[in-house]
Amino acid sequence: MQESATTTGKPDRILRLPAVLDRTGLSRSTLYRKIQAGTFPKQVPISVRCAGWRESAVSDWMRNPIFYSIDDPSTG
């Protein structure tokens, strides 16, 4: 069973772009291409001009990057 931040009791952190690039090893352009293709988690808005990624979503992608896809096509 997959654990989420709500089931572990730990809050889900928001990662900014430099942290995501560092963790994944992707380039900025590759990251955004993958988001457009639905093969990387989408950003979550933090404020009007600021966004980040849920740490749990990035961790899910890192467990199986080749077969990752966004489950709900209506979120794009």
Of 13, 25, 23, 5, the C-alpha closest to 52 is: 13
1 domain residue, yes or no: no
- End-to-end C-alpha distance for the chain, whole angstroms: 26
Mean pLDDT confidence for 37-65: 96
Q: Which residues contact 33 (CB under 8 A, 6 or more apart)?
A: none
CA–CA gap between residue 6 and residue 17 (Å, rounded): 23
Question: Which pLDDT does position 1 carry in this prediction?
Answer: 44
Residues of the domain holding 46:
12-66
Is the pLDDT assigned to residue 41 strictly greater than 60? yes
User: Is 27 contained in some domain?
Assistant: yes
- Mean pLDDT over 14-40 rounds to 97
- Domain membership of residue 46 (yes or no) is yes
Of residues 21, 4, 22, the one with CA closest to residue 12? 4
Q: Structural domain tally of the chain?
A: 1
